[in-house]
Structure 1
Amino acid sequence: MKRSVFLLAAVMATIWVFSQKATIMREAFADKFLIGTALNTRQVVSRDKALQALIKDNFSAVVAENCMKAEVLQPQEGVFNFKDGDRLCDLAEKNGQVVTGHCLIWHSQAPRWFFKDKDGKTVSREVLVQRMKDHIYKVVRHYKGRVKGWDVVNEAVEGNGELRKSPFYKIIGPDFIRLAFQFAHEADPDVELYYNDYGMDSPRKREAVVRMVKDLKAHGCRIDAVGMQSHVAFNTSLGEYE
């Protein structure tokens, strides 16, 4: 994964042995890169001492599984719920861990009201742009100084290399991606900004993401890394990641 934070969501119990001395994972990689895990709310608030020790000892970075997604943070327009996201940050700060915010704009777990007016009709481009801006500003500013970087836009590219025809795309157009990065940078000029997607072992998709990143940068957008959300199986060609 080409980014400063390596998120290994499936790894929760690996112990490294070096020179007959058990070495916790975060120490084994301390001089190389951050190594992290995704946490759900149940794990964050758990009183299980063994689980909490495993999280603290083995990982130097954490990311929220769901509690920082739009449908959770803003279930109703203007009504924000930061409780579980704050708990994640509290735990990370207690453990000396870095937090990656996931995610600001994603079609799959966006609240339904985002795209509809009070009569249930599809909103205009201007309305959705403003709602997107308001959400990003509020969330990014709330976590300013507590989050190292944000997955600004998640999974916007299809496997064939075309942009996904999500409500964001259909209502705003392809520049919703650029606007999301612009708003996130305006809200916190110091936070790192990422694009995240899966299936980057597909050449057509990977090439499309590369073109998109180059276009964003050409428009003056800050983008610090691309998250390669990998679902790796035995038949996956790892050579495609080189």
Structure 2
Amino acid sequence: MSAPAGRARRVLAATAVAVAGTLAVGMAVAAPSAAQAGPTLGQLAAAKGRYFGSATDNPTLNNSAYTAVLGSEFGQITVGNTQKWMYVEPSRGRFDYSQADQIVAFAQAHNQTVRGHTLVWHNQLPSWVNDVPAGELLGVMRNHIANVAGHYKGKVVHWDVVNEAFEENGARRQSVFQQKLGDGYIAEAFKAARAADPNAKLYYNDYNVEGINAKSDAMYNMVKSFKQQGIPIDGVGLQAHLVLGQVPSTLQQNIQRFADLGVDVAITELDIRMRTPRDAAKDAQQAADYRAVTNACLAVTRCVGITVWDFSDGHSWIPSVFPGEGAALIYDEDFAKKPSYWAVYEALGGTRTTTTTTTTTSGNNGSGCTATYRVVGQWNGGYQGEVTVRNTGSTATTGWTVKWTLAQGQTVNSLWNGTVTTNGQEVTVRNANYNGAVAPNGTTTFGFTGSSAGANPIPALTCATS
């Protein structure tokens, strides 16, 4: 995988616009209630001795639909931006924790643990740090760590003490800390963090180190050396900003080798990006990739948890840094659960609702189709459905249409991979511009979220081709 170029822009893009390629109707969306049926990802992970969490950022705390999911689905929160140096020490010796404290308070109010991110990083530094004389910088770094980690003592379970100190070839990144302090600055940072908060687990965190390669080898050798020297390091974070279909084959082996050094491992910033727009095939591959990452973590006892780098496509950093790419997370921009969500859910031991119905066909001259309706998930006041259209004819379709009648109290709020119109209780879904051609015996799928009052009956559908 190529390095996430423009990473500094990434963290500033936490409130990026929704991925344009995801096809959805322009209706108001009812977010899933916190009182959804069945366990959450956080609960499922906890049952396996892990955590499953999400990063977040301050602007999104004002979005009630977003916070309803953030506060109920996850057992852990990472402060995406506002614990970084430019926010907490904008000028030398002046500390400001107001924004980061808001996120920590949110987590505490929802019984969620907090990962601290990050104490020492070459990006998002205030300009004054670069101007500190070499003879003073170690003291400045120690003072920063002592204040920030000290302020959050007892409130943060992990600290990403040093972030992204290696280049792709395994050489040390020539940051201001490396240039002025040399190789020893990382060890000094860990010592200072341990002194400031003896109970927090201390992590080194980096990207493109998920598989075994030159960069992860350099990280491995550093951790091994630290353990031999008695430098206080407790874990490593594998960021896991991955590309669709490119989960490293050596991921589990890599996690295991770090665990064998006597440190914990966390997947700290998981997302899996694709070329947009989404389609059923890309969604299926992304689901398989999320499942593979989750299974790799579950296979190693010292892999302690997984954090997605925010949970909704509408709040992802990817589109602003990788034009034409996105849809990298487990919820879409309307907070509907994607196939990738359900892959993680099942990998963690959850069981999906599988009620289905196969419906009537129509067509002539060798054409025809079936539509199979499935309730993917339900919660108080809402549900997510999925319809699979199969071409039962002998020639490829050029288009398809599925119709059904909603029961009283049901609505369709958001739909993807198709275009929807409603007339009272009558729903008509036609193919999108990219999935109308279906080969004989081939399938395509569209999904939707809706509201329901009381019962949520399975409707009878009709399917027609053109």
TM range (shorter): 0.7 to 0.9
> What CA distance in whole angstroms lies between the structure 1 residues aligned with 2:53 and 2:39?
16
TM-score scaled by length of structure 1: 0.85
Pairwise CA distance, 1:50: 2.5
> What CA distance in whole angstroms lies between the structure 2 residues aligned with 1:156 and 1:233?
22
Structure 1 range deviating more: 106-115 or 75-84: 106-115
Which residue, out of 123, 126, 150, partners 1:111? 126
Pair 22,31 (structure 1): closer, same or farther in 2 beyond 3 Å: closer
Q: Which amino acid aligns with 2:46?
A: A
For residues 28-64 of structure 1, the C-alpha deviation after alignment (integer angstroms, 9 at most, x for no partner) is 22212101111010123x1x33222201111000011
> Size of the alignment, in residue pairs?
217
Q: Which amino acid aligns with 1:150?
A: W
For residues 142-180 of structure 1, the C-alpha deviation after alignment (integer angstroms, 9 at most, x for no partner) is 000100010000000111011111111000001000000
Pairwise CA distance, 1:100: 0.4
> What CA distance in whole angstroms lies between the structure 2 residues aligned with 1:80 and 1:24?
37
> What CA distance in whole angstroms lies between the structure 2 residues aligned with 1:74 and 1:211?
32
Which residue, out of 63, 79, 91, partners 2:94? 79
> What CA distance in whole angstroms lies between the structure 1 residues aligned with 2:171 and 2:124?
21
- Tell me what 2:54 maps to: 37
Q: Which amino acid aligns with 1:31?
A: A
For residues 176-227 of structure 1, the C-alpha deviation after alignment (integer angstroms, 9 at most, x for no partner) is 0000001001111111100000001251111110001111222211111110
> What CA distance in whole angstroms lies between the structure 2 residues aligned with 1:160 and 1:179?
24
- Tell me what 1:210 maps to: 220
- Tell me what 2:387 maps to: none
Structure 1 range deviating more: 95-104 or 196-205: 196-205
> What CA distance in whole angstroms lies between the structure 2 residues aligned with 1:23 and 1:144?
31
Pairwise CA distance, 1:232: 1.1
The question of whether the paired residues in 2 share the 8 Å contact of 1:159 and 1:202 is answered with no
> What CA distance in whole angstroms lies between the structure 2 residues aligned with 1:86 and 1:237?
35
Q: Which amino acid aligns with 1:26?
A: G
> What CA distance in whole angstroms lies between the structure 2 residues aligned with 1:237 and 1:101?
26
- Tell me what 1:27 maps to: 43
The question of whether the paired residues in 2 share the 8 Å contact of 1:154 and 1:195 is answered with yes
Which residue, out of 171, 179, 192, partners 1:162? 171
- 1:87-98 superposed matches below 5 A: 87-98=102-113
> What CA distance in whole angstroms lies between the structure 1 residues aligned with 2:117 and 2:171?
23
> What CA distance in whole angstroms lies between the structure 2 residues aligned with 1:183 and 1:127?
15
> What CA distance in whole angstroms lies between the structure 2 residues aligned with 1:172 and 1:208?
19
The question of whether the paired residues in 2 share the 8 Å contact of 1:25 and 1:57 is answered with no
SS at match of 1:141: helix
The question of whether the paired residues in 1 share the 8 Å contact of 2:71 and 2:110 is answered with yes
SS at match of 1:161: coil
- Tell me what 1:224 maps to: 234
- Tell me what 1:150 maps to: 159
> What CA distance in whole angstroms lies between the structure 2 residues aligned with 1:217 and 1:127?
28
SS at match of 1:232: strand
Pairwise CA distance, 1:235: 4.2
Pairwise CA distance, 1:237: 4.1
What RMSD over aligned residues (CA atoms) do the two structures have, in Å? 1.7
Structure 1 range deviating more: 216-225 or 186-195: 216-225
The question of whether the paired residues in 1 share the 8 Å contact of 2:227 and 2:233 is answered with yes
Which residue, out of 49, 52, 59, partners 2:74? 59
> What CA distance in whole angstroms lies between the structure 2 residues aligned with 1:81 and 1:60?
26
- Tell me what 1:195 maps to: 204
The question of whether the paired residues in 1 share the 8 Å contact of 2:130 and 2:176 is answered with yes
The question of whether the paired residues in 1 share the 8 Å contact of 2:51 and 2:75 is answered with yes
Pairwise CA distance, 1:113: 0.8
For residues 112-151 of structure 1, the C-alpha deviation after alignment (integer angstroms, 9 at most, x for no partner) is 211214xxxxx12x30000000000000110001000100
Larger radius of gyration: 2
Q: Which amino acid aligns with 1:79?
A: R
- Tell me what 1:176 maps to: 185
The answer for unaligned runs of 5 or more in structure 2 is 1-13, 15-31, 253-466
The question of whether the paired residues in 1 share the 8 Å contact of 2:212 and 2:251 is answered with no
The answer for unaligned runs of 5 or more in structure 1 is 1-8, 10-14, 16-20, 118-122
> What CA distance in whole angstroms lies between the structure 1 residues aligned with 2:70 and 2:244?
27
Give me the identity figure in percent: 35
SS at match of 2:203: strand
> What CA distance in whole angstroms lies between the structure 1 residues aligned with 2:143 and 2:118?
15
Greater strand fraction, Structure 1 or Structure 2: 2
Q: Which amino acid aligns with 1:66?
A: N
